[in-house]
Amino acid sequence: MRILFVADPLPGLKPAKDSTVAMIQAAWRHGHNCWACEADAISLHYKEERLHSSIFARALRPTDSNQEGTQASGSSGGLSLPLSWAQADPLEQMSANDFDLAVMRKDPPFNSSYFAATQMLSALEQAGLPVVNRPSALRDHGEKMAVLEFPQFAAQGLVSSNIQLLKDFSKRHNKVVYKPLDAMGGAGVFVTASSDPNLPVILEMLTQNESQAIMAQVYLPEIAKGDKRVLLINGEAVPYSLARIPPEGASRGNLAAGGKGVAQPLTEDDKRIAEAIGPLLASRGLFLVGLDIIGNRLTEINVTSPTGFQEITAQTPINVGNLFIEGLEKVFKA
């Protein structure tokens, strides 16, 4: 297959940590050709009653090195890009017809630019280019709010911009996690109690003075054993989760916030949750999903750019990148 990865800037990808790199390397091992572009490199043209696309992308070819990427920054225009894990050829103007599949791997926040990118990809999909994850499904499944569809598995929570309701939730449950709806990596997350004198200020800031809804969830003490990332590939769970364990004295297990990633076999509760909702999400075009589970409670459903491939692969007999590409081959008949 000819696979286009719509991703964040290549120099920022770290091969030891980044799941996008794991996907590309696995695609090479399976004999596929890979290109990469950023979301703003896609243009659409309407002429002669047809949709035409213009995509500025780089062909990617393997190198012998697997070290972290260079610190290059900014656009390199038509020049080749120096990466230690890949040879990134000069930018080439292409069209959707040049690819068999697009994989959307741009990180949140899910802002207006991200929303517009999903609309562009939807247009390409309608013109015949399959996109993983399906752009309409990305728009329909907010990563924090998606758990509301599955209250039987979710941690107790509240989504609101009303500060009084958020305070009342804290009074009922005492220790509460407050978080924005559009961030990632633990950004903007607060763990606090109803007695915290800073609580009003925290809520004013997160809700932007009641103009923006946020999520409140009951604090789960099982976080000390890790915030588990359970990966679903086409509705089936990878046999190992990645438990993100908070540093001593901290409350967030996100790897981006300093958490330690420890791979471990799925628990029976992990399997129960995954088996219940995985096939449904896959039927909606969510080929790759990352469930966040603390103890036996679902806290988030990540669909934009779930990660954890490299850590699970390094610590277990499972190569998650290979599972991902093999899953694509089955669905798209490579």
Q: Has 144 been annotated as catalytic?
A: yes
Asked if 42 contacts 6 with a C-beta cutoff of 8 angstroms, the reply is yes
Query: Of these residues, 105, 228, 252, 297, which one is catalytic?
Result: 252
Q: Has 139 been annotated as catalytic?
A: no
Q: Has 244 been annotated as catalytic?
A: yes
Contacts of 162-167 spanning 24+ positions with Cβ under 8 A: 162/210, 163/200, 163/203, 163/204, 163/207, 163/210, 166/203, 166/207, 166/214, 166/216, 167/194, 167/199, 167/200, 167/203
Query: Of these residues, 58, 144, 228, 297, which one is catalytic?
Result: 144
Structure tokens belonging to residue 24: 């590309």
259: region left, alpha or beta (phi > 0 left; psi from -120 to 50 alpha): beta
Query: Of these residues, 244, 254, 297, 322, which one is catalytic?
Result: 244
Query: Of these residues, 58, 105, 134, 179, which one is catalytic?
Result: 179
Q: Has 229 been annotated as catalytic?
A: yes
H or E element in which residue 261 lies? strand 260-265
Q: What's the rounded Cα separation, in Å, for the pair 207 and 201?
A: 10
Q: What's the rounded Cα separation, in Å, for the pair 276 and 280?
A: 8
H or E element in which residue 165 lies? helix 163-173
* CA torsion, ordered 106, 107, 109, 111, to nearest 10 deg: 0
Q: What's the rounded Cα separation, in Å, for the pair 321 and 25?
A: 8
Q: Has 252 been annotated as catalytic?
A: yes
**DSSP 3-state percent helix, strand, coil across the chain (nearest 5):** 35, 30, 40
Structure tokens belonging to residue 165: 């309701």
Query: Of these residues, 133, 302, 319, 322, which one is catalytic?
Result: 302
Query: Of these residues, 133, 300, 319, 322, which one is catalytic?
Result: 300
Q: Has 14 been annotated as catalytic?
A: no
- Catalytic residue IDs: 144, 179, 229, 244, 252, 292, 300, 302
